[in-house]
Structure formats: C-alpha cells, structure tokens
Structure 1
Amino acid sequence: MAVELSTNGFQAARGIAALQAITGNLDIAGGAVFLNEAPLSDLQLMPGSGVKQAIGADEYPLFHKVSRNAQANLYARAILEEKPYPLKGLVVAGSNPVLTWPNAGRVREALSRLEFLAVIDPVMTATARQAHLVLPCASFLGGDELWDSSHISLEPRIGLAPRICNDGGLPTHWEIWREIAVRMGHSDSFPWSTEEEAITFRLKALELTYADLRDMPEGYAYHRWTAKKYEKEGFDTDSGKVEIYSDLLKRHGYDPVPTYAEPAESPLSTPDVASLFPLVLTTGARRLEYLHSRFRNVDSLRSRAPEPYVEIHPATAESLGVKDGDMVLVETLRGSIEVRAKRTPSILAGVISMSHGWDEANANVLTDDACLDPVSGFPGGRCLLARIVRR
C-alpha cells in the first residue's frame, strides 16, 4: 500500500529516503536509482493565460511547486464553502471521485451543488451517473498513448502504445480536450489538428516524430544510467547535498527532519472517539484484478474477485461474534457501509482492512478529508477509527 496515503506520508517517505542515503544506497544498482523521465514538450496552460491559481497552492505550496497540480482533496471545500474561490463547474476525466476521493458523502454533496458537471469516460461510473453531461470516449485501447519505462528500467525508453481497436469510433481523450480548448478560446495553445501532430510536438527535444516511434515497438532508449551521478552533479537542494535536515522545509514551517506525528484520529490522540470506535481501519489495499475503481465490469476479473470484504483477525472477530462470511456494518465518524467479513491471521488484531473502488461498498464513505498530510495534502486513509456491528 502506498506510504504517502497517510497524514505522516510525506515525512515517512523522507525517512525512507534518509535511510537510503545514510546506508549508501543512493543511485546504485539495487538501491534508489535516479533516472530522468523523457524530456517532453509541455501541453499545460501556464499561469497568465487566464488561468486562476490552483486550489491548494496556498495551503500546500511545496506540493504545488513540485507537481504543478491543484490539490483535489480541497475541491469539495471550494464547492461547498467557496474557499479560496467558488468552484461552479468541473470536468472529470480519468478519475472517479465518488469512489476514489476521501469522505465520499461530502464529495457526493459537493458534486450535486455544481452548476455543471461533465464526465469524460468510456464507462458509466458512479461519478458519471451524477453528471449533467457524460461524454463517452475511447478506452486506452482506442487511442495512441506514450509510455515511459524510466520507473522500472535502468535503460529508460519512451514508446508508443498504438491504437488497437475503436469499433465505436469514439473520440479519444485528446480529441475531446482539444475541442474544449478551442471552444474556450485557447486554440493558439492547441494548434495541432491531429493527435499525431501533438505527439510529434511533445517529442521535439528527442528529435523524434510520431512516425518514428510507431516504427519502434521496442521504444527509444533516451538515457543510459550511470551510478552515483551526484558525485559530479550534486543534488537539487539548497546545499547541493543530501539534506536530512531541510532548511527549505523549515522556511515553509514544516518539520525539517523526518518526524512522526500521531494521526488526528487514533486511540492515543482521540481516546474518547476510540471508546466508541475501537478498531483501527486501513483502506486502499489493492486487489490484483483491479486498479482503483477500474475493471469491475470485466467478467473474467469479476469472477476472480466477485465482491468486497473487510479483513479482520480471528481473535478480533471472535470478540465481536463475527464469523467468516458474515455481513457486517463497518462504521466511522463519516458514515457506514455493509460488507462481508473475512477472517485472516495475516492482519494485526484490532486492525481491519478494506480495499477501495467498490460501488456497492465504497470504502471512502468511511475516510476523512479534513485532516490531511500538512505538506502534500494527501488524505489519511491508513489511520482511521472504526467499529464493526454484526448484521
């Protein structure tokens, strides 16, 4: 499970990186290898092009500076409380917020308050069902996509995953977004008439074209890894060195060294809540068959993992009178869902675990969007208090 999806996630990741540095495991084979992604031309509209400051840029300035993204966990606040400004419309693509964002009840309420909600998706998702407009689009099999192996290979390559099938003739994501950009007056920023031209533009720094990559099924090797590049190039820090103590973090008011803070909701920080909700809930566990909320409409995968369940240690289940396969109600301060119990000795007693992405048992009904990681703004989906009631 992703370490960053907790209220200590950023500092936990820093702690891991610090241990890698202290033990000499930076940029060596078998260690934390530093690889660059392919230098692609950017398609993003820059500030000054009539684009408002990203939501979350004030609250999470370092996250915004590095990622250049808004913090979507604050969208519900922007809609419901108009902070930092009113958010009246939303176009959702490549996402299913109702099932994958924290505090799903609040997300649903926020989406229902929008003056306009459009969803671009090949599937009628839980979010699409709440939209004013659904734009069906081609799946990943129906369009051309670039892939980059820099996260899994010492010889990073960029390649083209070509269109395989699009029997319905549906538009690709790129075609829809280009049409939206043109109609909103941004045609100068999106001058390409075809996706092939746009991909060629993105490959400019590599002196490649769409046609070049199409004829390279193995991809193009754009970088060869060499060990310990930092000995010549240093690090992208104020000092040019590894900084276990970070002046940059300190200047922004964050702990300069990796520091643990008890979650806002836990047996130690909120014993009164723990007296009513005595179990520790972790959500987001992955199933091999699915990716977030995707692929549950694929019969062959659904037959392997037909329904959601909550994992519970046999001793905990015994104390609650819960048998394997019983239907139970899992409750937190945010809401409750009904799901089948699965007894397993592989989980710690007193802890329960659920995977997310299930429409019929949405784990994010239980999660919290109020207490976020102070640096990244990521939610604490791994550290919640809950209780189980036998049905």
Structure 2
Amino acid sequence: MTSDPTAEWQPTACILCECNCGIVVQTRDRTIAKIRGDKAHPTSQGYTCNKALRLDHYQNDRNRLTSPLRRRSDGSYEEIDWDTAIAEIAAGFAGIRDEHGGDKVFYYGGGGQGNHLGGAYSGAFLKAIGSRYRSNALAQEKTGEHLVDRYLYGGHTRGEFARAEVSVFVGKNPWMSQSFPRARVVLNEIAKDPGRSMIVIDPVVTDTAKLADFHLRVRPGTDAWCLAALAAVLVTEDLCDETFLAEHVSGVDEVRDVLREVPIDEYARRCGVDESLIRAAARRIGAAASVSVFEDLGIQQAPNSTLSSYLNKLLWVLTGNFAKTGAQHLHSMFAPLFSASGVGRTPVTGSPIIAGLVPSNVVPEEILTDHPGRIRGMIVESSNPAHSVADSATVREALGSLELLVVIDVAMTETARLAHYVLPAASQFEKPEATFFNLEFPHNTFHLRHALFEPLAGTLPEPEIWARLVRALNVVSDDDLRPLRQAAAQGLDAYAEAFLVAVRTNPALGRVLPFVLYETLGPALPDGLAGAAALWGLAQKTAMQYPEAVRRAGHVDGNALFEAILAGRSGVTFSEHEYVDDFDLITHEDKRIRLAMPEMLADVRALHADTPLLTSDEFPIVLSAGERRANTANDIMRDPAWRKGDVDGALRISVEDAAAIGLVDGGRARIVTAAGSAEATVEVSEVMLPGHVSLPNGYGVDHVDADGLSHTPGVAPNALTSTQWRDAHAGTPWHKHVPARVETLPAV
C-alpha cells in the first residue's frame, strides 16, 4: 500500500449508490487523500457525482469498530478476543438450532450498496445451522416490482436511457439517486435534444422534473390513477404496437378490456394532473421509436406500490418497447440479487415471502410473540434495521428481546448497540469487494475492487468471519478439503475438475460451497484476493447461463472470465448481448410476455371505487420519509462533517402550508405521526405541493465526535413511520406516504 500522495492513482469504486462508479484514488497513510472518476471503467467512464469525493469520511469514521464486543448484563460492552467471540457465537446459534430448530435463526442484510462480496459467504454458515428466513433492504423496496417482473417475463428489466427517444421516470429522481450509468450526463443530453423527451411522474418538482418536457405532478399516493389513465389512453387511442403484441405478448385482450373501463377524465382529476397533459404524454410514448421507463421508491414505498409497478410496465409493453435500441431490456446478472424460490409465507404472520425475502416490516411481529415458530436468534450483516425499518421503537424492542443477536459491521450502529455480540468488519477499502448490481444491457460489467489498505487492526473481512464460524461447527474436515487445496495449487483447470468430483462424492461440501471455495481456492489466489474465491463459482454459472454473451465479451469459459475479473482493476465487461437475446432471456417456455396478471387486473378495477383518504383531520399532511438529497447517503456515512449543506436535514414544506401553519424558512417545527414525533429545521420550498412535506434519509444516526460525545443530527425518519402501513401484495412500507401533522415550535 502506498502512502505517497503523489504516487500512482489506484482504481476502486464509489460505494454510495447502486451505480458503484469507478474511481481512482491516491492514499496518504490510511486516508483517501484524492479522488476522481476512473476513465478506464467500462461503465462509468470517468463519471462520478459529488458524493464520491467524500469517501474518506466513511473510511476513517470515529465510529469504526476495532475489537469484537460482548454485551454485559448491565448493557455495557467488553472487548473480547476473536477466538472467544467465534466460539461463543457458534455455540449460541447451534444451541438455538438444537433446541428450537435452525429455522428460528434469522439473517438480515448481506451488504450495502457496494459490499456484496462478503455476504456471499454467509450462506455456508446459515445452511450449516439450518437457517431458512432472511431479509434485507430490497424487501423494503423492490419485491413488489419483482413479483410483477417474475409473472410478466421472469427477470429484471432496465431501460437504455442513453439511447431512448422517450425516458419516463416514475417516482424517480435520477439527478440525485443516479441508478443508471452517467445519470446526470444522460439527463442533460436528453434535455438538450429536441428530438427526445423526458416524462416525470412525481409530486415534487425535483431536479429531474425541472428538466422534463412533461411533468405529471401527481398528488402524493395517486400514481396508480395517473398510470392507469396513461395506459388507458394508449389503448383507447390505438397507440399500441399491434404487431409486437401479436408476436410476443399473451393476455393482451384481457388487459385491453380492463383499461377500456378506465374513466380517464375522472382519474386525471383524482391524481391532480390535467387530462390534456396525461393524453399528451401518452401520445408522446405511443409515437416514439423507443421508450425506457424507470420506477423507484417514490412509488415502491407508497400506496398501490405493486399495482403501480405493474401499470408502468404496461406503458412500454403495450407500445412494443422491448428488445430494440433505446428501449427496455432483460439483462444478464453475475449473481442473483433475489432467490429463485417463489412466494412463500412467514411462520408467524403468514406474510408473503417474495424472492426469498421476508418483508422487513413484519420482522418485529415475527419476534414479539409466543408463537412456537417465532424468531429467536438473528444475524445482521452490514445493515441497520433499528434505523432503516419502519417504527424504529418497535424494531428495537424486538431486537432487544432476542435470545441471541449478532451484528457484523464496520461501525457501532443503532442495531449494534442492541446486540449480544458485535464483530468488527474491515471496511470496503480494506478487502476485496464487489457489487452484484450488474443490471445493464447490452454490455454488462463486473468490478472486483482490490484493497487499498490492510484491514484496520482488530478487524476481519467478512469472508474470514464466516469461515471461522463454519470451522467452529466442524461440518467439514481438513481431510475433506485437502484434495481441493492440492488441486488449486495446480491451476484453475485442475481445480475445476477436482471440485466437480468432490462435490459429487461428498454432499456435505455442497451445503457449504462458499466456505469450501474460500478455504481451498482462496489461499491460491494472488494479491490478497482470497475473499474473491466465491466469484469462481459465479463465473462458472455466468458462462453456462449466457455462453454466447460471455464469449462476445472476450471470455472463452468460466475460468477465463474469473481470471479477467481478478486482473481487471477497473472492472471488466462480462457479457455482451445482442438485442434479439432479450426474447431468449424471458423465462417462460413460450418466450412470450404474459401481460394479464389476475391480481393486478383486479386492483385496476378496484381503482374505480371511492378510495378513502389516508390523511385525516388529526394528520392532514403526507410525509415522505427518507428523501434522497445531495447530502444524504443512507447511514453508511455517519460523521456529519461530510455534509457541505443541509446539516440538520430540513423538513421541506410548501409555501402555502408554511404560511398557514406559521412557519418560516430556517425556523423549527414539530412533525407528528401516529408512530411518534420529532423536531426539525424548516425549509420553505416551492418544490413541494400543499399538503406534502419531506424529510431526508441518512440523518438521526449516532455519532461520536472528537470529544467523545454522541450526537444525532437531524431526524431519524423511521421514528415516524409504521410497520402496519404496507403494500398488500409485497409488504413493502409506505415510507413515502405517512399521514402527519406539522406544528410550530415556540421561540427559544
């Protein structure tokens, strides 16, 4: 590791959103001294937003953990050695397994925006103790969309916005939340091109909405009526691509019949958007040569979220915007973000398990009960449910009641403060790391980041933590692993042959494959890349699943792909698809899109009813809790010094509401919901509709400053949300639609 700030720039990546833009850095001692975009990165190509430039605040946070901790009976913590921690934790979870069943041990997490590689090793320990249930942040956002995707075509789609004639953003502000490569560059290109158009559906005049040709400024929570009206215009004005529908889509007539019943003028009134604007936007979609659509948390954490996911996909399916330049695409994935399993039910509440994920908001109910199937032990890795899940008070009560709670993290988070054991992980820049947010088409990229620093003294990378836990269970012996270790020393071809024989002849190895790879292939890898061993198995699967696309990208087989990943310091393109491949990526046997999703069509018909308002005289305003802004980055950046503005995380409120309540810009207000109350600095803003306020994400976290004091700047938004307000299909929370009341505070 270099300590000379004038030395060669080292490639790595930003970790603050799913894009994981490539960056190059110079280091000084243990600090990241200089940062700029990596022009050699095949996806981001030198692009980065302002947040990446402040990553040293993550790397050198005063809250970093440097020793395993064990909670005393009085609630305080004592430092213990790693051997003691591993032995006691393994014995504790084994005890729960033996007495109550391993399915009573719950796993939450598996990585944040850029640290997915460590979580790839958790499965070995979890299978060894019989754990079955898990959740993470995706269960607060994407499971409704996944439910729809799985029914329609079986996989995830992504728009090709850099080449789309019309780009549609639904509850999405990519200027702030990024989510696709070079987002701000692409948005500016669209805005400046008279031949292209941007449609934004959002109650807020976001930075993206300011660039839009059509801003459908819906009332909060009414996206479904707006989307249904748009789809109805496509059908009633004959704007659909009939050739595409006849050749590639099933169930079209059923969908048409439902959409013809939509009273477009009435739905326009309900959502607060002029009917002529809705019709103009629909006609622009129907006339375009290519359309791409992006939905995000604005609808995924609001009423009718799964229905809204379905309806926005009708916009591009009905108009044939699939498998062509600038349209919507299925894509390869280097590793699955979701389990291949279908929908199940949780043991206590019977809540839906979609793609293997329990809805985050039911986890407290699955704990705080005397039901024999209740959760008794929990492992939380690189996640902070005590802060990020709705109704923080109840979440903390639930976590505090567990027989055993273990947290693996880099910092003493709000969840870690409730744990029986806290295990300190190396930071994302102190170990090999990667993201599995590989979602692009036609070229898809994987980036293995090498360590910039040695792990901080007292910490371990997650692969080593999980390996030590598996070793403590004695599920495989050194004799079982010895042939694979010997084969690894002879090269990847010899290892592949030995691996297939070992797994076929010894079923015990198959249950803990990530551990086997780490223990046998890991030591043979160069440059301290033992933690990348799990990628060998993923490379083999990728090469088998997308053989032609992988070969087009320059990799003859899985071993060649793995070697390219190890060597590609700025990332590698692992698949290169042709547009016709989209149809092959549909998982249905007939390779057709199935459009008539029965439960969604029933929900469309239900929109006709007079839906009661969720607000009331007591709580007349809608709060959007967790807005992404220029100075927010979830809670991975815990030191408030990283923020250059909006230090307190202001409550944004409309000019009209501020005047009615008696609030002034820069003043203080109290915001009250059924779950709790908080005080916030006020920002009076024309971007907000009357009756709509917002608070940013990432505030209200514990932080120890230079004087050793604990501060919680801003509002922790989930002190104000409720676990009971959630989508009927997916259980995703309504963080963006919380009935609230805003009050003035007396002058100090």
Cα 1:211/1:165, change in 2 over 3 Å: farther
For 2:64, the equivalent position in structure 1 comes to: none
- Which structure has the greater CA radius of gyration? 2
Cα 1:10/1:346, change in 2 over 3 Å: same
Distance in 1 between residues matched to 2:690 and 2:475, nearest whole Å: 56
Choose which of 307, 332, 348 in structure 1 pairs with 2:648. Answer: 307
Cα 1:374/1:307, change in 2 over 3 Å: same
Distance in 2 between residues matched to 1:57 and 1:146, nearest whole Å: 35
Choose which of 156, 162, 178 in structure 1 pairs with 2:467. Answer: 178
Determine helix, strand or coil for the equivalent of 1:160.
coil
Cα 1:202/1:57, change in 2 over 3 Å: farther
Choose which of 575, 578, 586 in structure 2 pairs with 1:223. Answer: 575
CA deviation vs aligned residue, 1:17-42 (integer Å, no higher than 9, x gap): 111111221232222122111268x9
Cα 1:259/1:367, change in 2 over 3 Å: farther
**Is 1:245 aligned to residue 596 of structure 2?**
yes
**What are the residue-to-residue correspondences of 1:87-102 with 2, within 5 Å?**
87-102=375-390
For 1:259, the equivalent position in structure 2 comes to: 604
Cα 1:159/1:15, change in 2 over 3 Å: same
**What are the residue-to-residue correspondences of 1:75-154 with 2, within 5 Å?**
75-82=363-370, 85-147=373-435, 150-154=438-442
Moved more, 156-165 or 285-294: 285-294
Determine helix, strand or coil for the equivalent of 1:126.
coil
**Is 1:204 aligned to residue 545 of structure 2?**
no
Assess if the C-alpha contact under 8 Å between 2:331 and 2:585 holds in 1: no
Assess if the C-alpha contact under 8 Å between 2:447 and 2:570 holds in 1: yes
CA deviation vs aligned residue, 1:4-57 (integer Å, no higher than 9, x gap): 1223221111111111111221232222122111268x9x9x9xxxxx986689
Determine helix, strand or coil for the equivalent of 2:533.
helix
Cα 1:269/1:239, change in 2 over 3 Å: farther
Moved more, 29-38 or 99-108: 29-38
CA deviation vs aligned residue, 1:263-302 (integer Å, no higher than 9, x gap): xxxx96357x611111111112112333221213163x22
**What are the residue-to-residue correspondences of 1:296-375 with 2, within 5 Å?**
296-297=638-639, 299=641, 301-359=642-700, 360=712, 361-375=715-729
Distance in 2 between residues matched to 1:38 and 1:293, nearest whole Å: 27
Cα 1:274/1:179, change in 2 over 3 Å: same
What percent of counterpart residues are identical?
21
Assess if the C-alpha contact under 8 Å between 2:726 and 2:733 holds in 1: yes
Unpaired runs of 5+ residues, structure 2, are: 1-171, 173-296, 477-508, 523-530, 544-557, 701-711
Q: Which of the two has greater helix per residue?
A: 2
For 2:739, the equivalent position in structure 1 comes to: 385
Assess if the C-alpha contact under 8 Å between 2:380 and 2:408 holds in 1: yes
Determine helix, strand or coil for the equivalent of 1:146.
coil
Cα 1:275/1:27, change in 2 over 3 Å: same
For 1:21, the equivalent position in structure 2 comes to: 317
Assess if the C-alpha contact under 8 Å between 1:55 and 1:70 holds in 2: no
For 1:30, the equivalent position in structure 2 comes to: 326
Distance in 2 between residues matched to 1:57 and 1:33, nearest whole Å: 36
- How far the C-alpha of 1:225 sits from its partner, in A, is 2.3
- The residue type paired with residue 592 of structure 2 is K
**Is 1:287 aligned to residue 632 of structure 2?**
no
Distance in 1 between residues matched to 2:604 and 2:626, nearest whole Å: 24
For 1:11, the equivalent position in structure 2 comes to: 307
**What are the residue-to-residue correspondences of 1:66-77 with 2, within 5 Å?**
67-77=355-365
Distance in 2 between residues matched to 1:329 and 1:372, nearest whole Å: 25
Cα 1:260/1:340, change in 2 over 3 Å: farther
Distance in 1 between residues matched to 2:588 and 2:730, nearest whole Å: 18
Assess if the C-alpha contact under 8 Å between 1:148 and 1:157 holds in 2: no
Question: Root-mean-square deviation (CA), in Å?
Answer: 3.2
Assess if the C-alpha contact under 8 Å between 1:12 and 1:258 holds in 2: no
Moved more, 210-219 or 276-285: 210-219
- How far the C-alpha of 1:234 sits from its partner, in A, is 7.6
Assess if the C-alpha contact under 8 Å between 2:669 and 2:742 holds in 1: yes
Unpaired runs of 5+ residues, structure 1, are: 47-51
Cα 1:358/1:26, change in 2 over 3 Å: same
Determine helix, strand or coil for the equivalent of 1:328.
strand
Distance in 1 between residues matched to 2:472 and 2:635, nearest whole Å: 31
- The residue type paired with residue 220 of structure 1 is V
**Could you tell me the TM-score, scaled by structure 2's length?**
0.46
Assess if the C-alpha contact under 8 Å between 1:330 and 1:339 holds in 2: yes
Moved more, 350-359 or 81-90: 81-90
- How far the C-alpha of 1:238 sits from its partner, in A, is 7.6
Distance in 2 between residues matched to 1:316 and 1:174, nearest whole Å: 51
Cα 1:221/1:270, change in 2 over 3 Å: closer
CA deviation vs aligned residue, 1:282-334 (integer Å, no higher than 9, x gap): 112112333221213163x2233422111100110110011111211111111
Assess if the C-alpha contact under 8 Å between 1:245 and 1:257 holds in 2: no
- The residue type paired with residue 682 of structure 2 is A
Distance in 2 between residues matched to 1:238 and 1:83, nearest whole Å: 41
- The residue type paired with residue 386 of structure 1 is A
Moved more, 314-323 or 69-78: 69-78
Assess if the C-alpha contact under 8 Å between 2:450 and 2:569 holds in 1: no
Assess if the C-alpha contact under 8 Å between 1:11 and 1:258 holds in 2: yes
- The residue type paired with residue 241 of structure 1 is R
**Is 1:269 aligned to residue 615 of structure 2?**
no
- The residue type paired with residue 325 of structure 1 is G
- The residue type paired with residue 654 of structure 2 is H
- How far the C-alpha of 1:259 sits from its partner, in A, is 2.8
Assess if the C-alpha contact under 8 Å between 1:329 and 1:388 holds in 2: yes
Choose which of 315, 327, 352 in structure 2 pairs with 1:60. Answer: 352
Determine helix, strand or coil for the equivalent of 1:222.
strand
Determine helix, strand or coil for the equivalent of 2:575.
coil
For 1:49, the equivalent position in structure 2 comes to: none
Assess if the C-alpha contact under 8 Å between 1:6 and 1:383 holds in 2: yes
Determine helix, strand or coil for the equivalent of 2:617.
helix
- The residue type paired with residue 379 of structure 2 is V
**Could you tell me the TM-score, scaled by structure 1's length?**
0.84
Distance in 2 between residues matched to 1:33 and 1:349, nearest whole Å: 37
- The residue type paired with residue 201 of structure 1 is G
- How far the C-alpha of 1:58 sits from its partner, in A, is 4.6
Determine helix, strand or coil for the equivalent of 2:452.
coil
Distance in 2 between residues matched to 1:59 and 1:183, nearest whole Å: 34
